[in-house]
Amino acid sequence: MNKKVRVVSFDVDGTLIDQRFNDLIWENDIPALVAHKRGCSFLEAKKFCLCEYRKLGDKDLRWYDVQHWLKKFGISTSAKDIFKRREQLIIVYPDVLPVLRKLKEEGFRVIVITCMPRIFLKEKIKKFDRHFDKVFSTISDFKRVKSPELYRHISKVIKTSPSCILHIGDHHILDYEFSLEAGYKSILIEREKKTKDFSISRLEEIFYFL
Protein backbone atom coordinates (compact mmCIF):
# COMPACT_ATOMS: atom_id res chain seq x y z
CA MET A 1 0.00 0.00 0.00
CA ASN A 2 1.26 3.44 -0.90
CA LYS A 3 1.59 5.10 2.49
CA LYS A 4 1.15 8.53 0.99
CA VAL A 5 -2.63 8.43 0.55
CA ARG A 6 -4.22 8.91 3.95
CA VAL A 7 -7.63 10.28 3.01
CA VAL A 8 -10.02 8.87 0.43
CA SER A 9 -12.68 11.28 -0.80
CA PHE A 10 -15.86 10.38 -2.66
CA ASP A 11 -18.34 12.26 -4.81
CA VAL A 12 -21.90 10.96 -4.23
CA ASP A 13 -24.19 10.95 -7.29
CA GLY A 14 -23.01 8.53 -9.96
CA THR A 15 -20.18 7.43 -7.66
CA LEU A 16 -21.87 6.00 -4.54
CA ILE A 17 -25.54 6.45 -5.46
CA ASP A 18 -27.22 5.50 -8.71
CA GLN A 19 -27.56 8.64 -10.81
CA ARG A 20 -30.96 7.52 -12.09
CA PHE A 21 -32.62 8.79 -8.93
CA ASN A 22 -31.57 12.31 -9.85
CA ASP A 23 -32.54 11.90 -13.47
CA LEU A 24 -36.02 10.95 -12.39
CA ILE A 25 -36.40 14.13 -10.34
CA TRP A 26 -34.88 16.45 -12.97
CA GLU A 27 -36.19 14.83 -16.12
CA ASN A 28 -39.55 13.51 -14.98
CA ASP A 29 -40.93 14.97 -11.77
CA ILE A 30 -40.05 18.63 -12.30
CA PRO A 31 -41.15 18.64 -15.97
CA ALA A 32 -44.44 16.94 -14.95
CA LEU A 33 -45.12 19.76 -12.47
CA VAL A 34 -44.17 22.34 -15.10
CA ALA A 35 -46.52 20.72 -17.65
CA HIS A 36 -49.35 20.90 -15.14
CA LYS A 37 -48.57 24.50 -14.26
CA ARG A 38 -48.23 25.71 -17.88
CA GLY A 39 -50.96 23.52 -19.31
CA CYS A 40 -48.63 22.05 -21.93
CA SER A 41 -47.63 18.47 -22.79
CA PHE A 42 -45.08 16.61 -20.69
CA LEU A 43 -42.69 16.46 -23.63
CA GLU A 44 -42.88 20.21 -24.22
CA ALA A 45 -42.31 20.85 -20.53
CA LYS A 46 -39.37 18.43 -20.45
CA LYS A 47 -37.75 20.13 -23.45
CA PHE A 48 -38.26 23.51 -21.80
CA CYS A 49 -36.79 22.36 -18.45
CA LEU A 50 -33.74 20.66 -19.99
CA CYS A 51 -33.07 23.77 -22.04
CA GLU A 52 -33.28 25.98 -18.92
CA TYR A 53 -30.95 23.62 -16.97
CA ARG A 54 -28.46 23.70 -19.83
CA LYS A 55 -28.57 27.48 -20.09
CA LEU A 56 -27.45 27.80 -16.48
CA GLY A 57 -24.93 24.93 -16.52
CA ASP A 58 -23.45 22.82 -13.74
CA LYS A 59 -20.76 25.30 -12.79
CA ASP A 60 -23.43 27.58 -11.36
CA LEU A 61 -24.49 26.48 -7.90
CA ARG A 62 -28.18 27.26 -8.58
CA TRP A 63 -28.13 24.37 -11.08
CA TYR A 64 -28.00 21.88 -8.16
CA ASP A 65 -30.77 23.53 -6.19
CA VAL A 66 -34.21 22.00 -6.80
CA GLN A 67 -35.76 24.85 -4.82
CA HIS A 68 -34.25 27.38 -7.22
CA TRP A 69 -35.88 25.63 -10.18
CA LEU A 70 -39.24 25.23 -8.50
CA LYS A 71 -39.27 28.94 -7.72
CA LYS A 72 -38.13 29.84 -11.22
CA PHE A 73 -40.86 27.68 -12.80
CA GLY A 74 -43.49 29.06 -10.39
CA ILE A 75 -44.23 25.72 -8.71
CA SER A 76 -45.45 25.64 -5.11
CA THR A 77 -44.59 21.97 -4.31
CA SER A 78 -41.57 21.87 -2.01
CA ALA A 79 -38.29 20.21 -2.94
CA LYS A 80 -38.59 18.07 0.18
CA ASP A 81 -41.99 16.71 -0.95
CA ILE A 82 -40.66 15.82 -4.39
CA PHE A 83 -37.71 14.09 -2.81
CA LYS A 84 -39.80 12.19 -0.21
CA ARG A 85 -42.02 10.74 -2.94
CA ARG A 86 -39.00 9.13 -4.58
CA GLU A 87 -37.00 8.28 -1.49
CA GLN A 88 -37.45 4.51 -1.89
CA LEU A 89 -35.69 4.72 -5.24
CA ILE A 90 -32.34 5.81 -3.80
CA ILE A 91 -30.01 2.99 -4.80
CA VAL A 92 -26.58 2.66 -3.24
CA TYR A 93 -24.28 0.81 -5.66
CA PRO A 94 -23.63 -2.71 -4.29
CA ASP A 95 -19.84 -2.29 -4.22
CA VAL A 96 -19.96 0.78 -1.94
CA LEU A 97 -20.27 -0.74 1.54
CA PRO A 98 -17.58 -3.43 1.06
CA VAL A 99 -15.16 -0.76 -0.20
CA LEU A 100 -15.94 1.65 2.66
CA ARG A 101 -15.44 -1.16 5.21
CA LYS A 102 -12.14 -2.20 3.65
CA LEU A 103 -10.86 1.39 3.62
CA LYS A 104 -11.63 1.67 7.33
CA GLU A 105 -9.93 -1.65 8.06
CA GLU A 106 -6.85 -0.43 6.24
CA GLY A 107 -6.79 2.76 8.30
CA PHE A 108 -7.80 5.38 5.73
CA ARG A 109 -9.87 8.43 6.66
CA VAL A 110 -12.89 8.59 4.41
CA ILE A 111 -14.68 11.80 3.42
CA VAL A 112 -17.35 13.00 1.01
CA ILE A 113 -17.02 16.03 -1.26
CA THR A 114 -20.19 16.75 -3.20
CA CYS A 115 -21.95 19.79 -4.64
CA MET A 116 -25.30 18.41 -3.50
CA PRO A 117 -27.19 20.61 -1.02
CA ARG A 118 -27.23 19.10 2.47
CA ILE A 119 -31.03 18.86 2.52
CA PHE A 120 -30.80 16.03 -0.07
CA LEU A 121 -27.41 14.72 0.85
CA LYS A 122 -28.52 13.83 4.37
CA GLU A 123 -31.32 11.62 3.05
CA LYS A 124 -29.21 10.03 0.36
CA ILE A 125 -26.37 8.84 2.55
CA LYS A 126 -28.19 8.27 5.83
CA LYS A 127 -27.92 4.47 5.57
CA PHE A 128 -24.13 4.55 5.46
CA ASP A 129 -22.99 7.97 6.68
CA ARG A 130 -21.36 6.35 9.75
CA HIS A 131 -18.53 5.32 7.43
CA PHE A 132 -17.49 8.92 6.77
CA ASP A 133 -15.17 10.96 8.96
CA LYS A 134 -16.31 14.18 7.35
CA VAL A 135 -18.97 15.13 4.80
CA PHE A 136 -18.65 18.32 2.74
CA SER A 137 -21.51 19.78 0.75
CA THR A 138 -19.74 22.49 -1.22
CA ILE A 139 -23.00 24.33 -1.81
CA SER A 140 -24.29 24.23 1.76
CA ASP A 141 -20.91 24.64 3.47
CA PHE A 142 -19.14 27.07 1.13
CA LYS A 143 -21.85 28.41 -1.25
CA ARG A 144 -19.72 27.25 -4.16
CA VAL A 145 -19.46 24.38 -6.63
CA LYS A 146 -16.34 22.22 -6.82
CA SER A 147 -13.24 24.07 -8.03
CA PRO A 148 -9.47 23.58 -7.65
CA GLU A 149 -9.45 26.34 -4.99
CA LEU A 150 -12.22 24.63 -3.07
CA TYR A 151 -10.45 21.24 -3.14
CA ARG A 152 -7.35 23.02 -1.80
CA HIS A 153 -9.41 24.72 0.88
CA ILE A 154 -10.92 21.40 1.99
CA SER A 155 -7.44 19.88 2.27
CA LYS A 156 -6.59 22.69 4.70
CA VAL A 157 -9.81 22.16 6.66
CA ILE A 158 -8.94 18.49 7.17
CA LYS A 159 -5.28 19.37 7.76
CA THR A 160 -4.03 16.99 5.08
CA SER A 161 -1.73 17.75 2.17
CA PRO A 162 -3.58 17.52 -1.20
CA SER A 163 -1.07 14.91 -2.36
CA CYS A 164 -2.22 12.62 0.47
CA ILE A 165 -5.87 12.73 -0.65
CA LEU A 166 -7.38 10.52 -3.32
CA HIS A 167 -10.68 11.79 -4.79
CA ILE A 168 -13.04 9.55 -6.76
CA GLY A 169 -15.91 10.95 -8.80
CA ASP A 170 -17.85 10.59 -12.02
CA HIS A 171 -17.59 14.14 -13.40
CA HIS A 172 -14.61 14.55 -15.69
CA ILE A 173 -14.09 18.22 -14.87
CA LEU A 174 -15.61 18.89 -11.45
CA ASP A 175 -14.26 15.69 -9.89
CA TYR A 176 -11.31 14.52 -11.92
CA GLU A 177 -9.63 17.59 -13.42
CA PHE A 178 -10.32 20.05 -10.61
CA SER A 179 -9.13 17.76 -7.82
CA LEU A 180 -6.06 16.85 -9.87
CA GLU A 181 -5.33 20.55 -10.42
CA ALA A 182 -5.56 21.06 -6.67
CA GLY A 183 -2.80 18.48 -6.20
CA TYR A 184 -5.00 15.54 -5.15
CA LYS A 185 -4.61 12.08 -6.56
CA SER A 186 -7.71 11.56 -8.65
CA ILE A 187 -9.76 8.76 -10.20
CA LEU A 188 -12.61 9.11 -12.68
CA ILE A 189 -15.30 6.46 -12.30
CA GLU A 190 -17.51 5.64 -15.29
CA ARG A 191 -19.96 3.03 -14.08
CA GLU A 192 -22.24 2.78 -17.09
CA LYS A 193 -19.94 3.21 -20.07
CA LYS A 194 -16.18 3.62 -20.04
CA THR A 195 -15.07 6.39 -22.41
CA LYS A 196 -11.58 7.01 -21.03
CA ASP A 197 -8.64 4.60 -20.78
CA PHE A 198 -7.69 5.87 -17.36
CA SER A 199 -11.14 5.62 -15.76
CA ILE A 200 -12.42 2.78 -13.60
CA SER A 201 -15.88 1.22 -13.77
CA ARG A 202 -16.00 -0.61 -10.43
CA LEU A 203 -15.24 0.98 -7.09
CA GLU A 204 -13.01 -1.92 -5.89
CA GLU A 205 -10.50 -0.83 -8.52
CA ILE A 206 -9.48 2.12 -6.29
CA PHE A 207 -7.33 -0.28 -4.27
CA TYR A 208 -4.92 -0.50 -7.22
CA PHE A 209 -4.25 3.22 -6.66
CA LEU A 210 -3.64 3.03 -2.90
> By C-beta, is 5 or 170 nearer to Mg ion?
170
CB of 67 to Mg ion, least distance (A): 20
Binding-site string for Mg ion from residue 147 to residue 176, where x marks contact by CB under 5 A and - marks none: -----------------------x------
> By C-beta, is 13 or 65 nearer to Mg ion?
13
Helix (H) or strand (E) holding 114: strand 109-114
Instruction: Give me the half-sphere count of Cα atoms (radius 13 Å) on the Cβ side of residue 133.
Output: 14
> By C-beta, is 33 or 115 nearer to Mg ion?
115
- Told to check if 9 binds Mg ion by CB under 5 A, we report no
Nearest-CB residue to Mg ion? 14
- Told to check if 11 binds Mg ion by CB under 5 A, we report yes
* Secondary structure of 69-92 in HEC code, one letter for each residue: HHHHCCCCCCHHHHHHHHHHHCCE
Q: Tell me the number of residues near Mg ion by CB under 5 A.
A: 4
> Do the beta carbons of residue 73 and residue 37 sit within 8 Å?
yes
Q: Which residues, other chains included, contact 36 with Cβ-Cβ below 8 Å and sequence gap of 6+?
A: none
CB of 62 to Mg ion, least distance (A): 17
- Told to check if 13 binds Mg ion by CB under 5 A, we report yes
User: Residues in the chain, how many?
Assistant: 210
CB of 110 to Mg ion, least distance (A): 17
Please state, in angstroms and rounded to a whole number, the distance separating the CA atoms of residues 37 and 101. 46
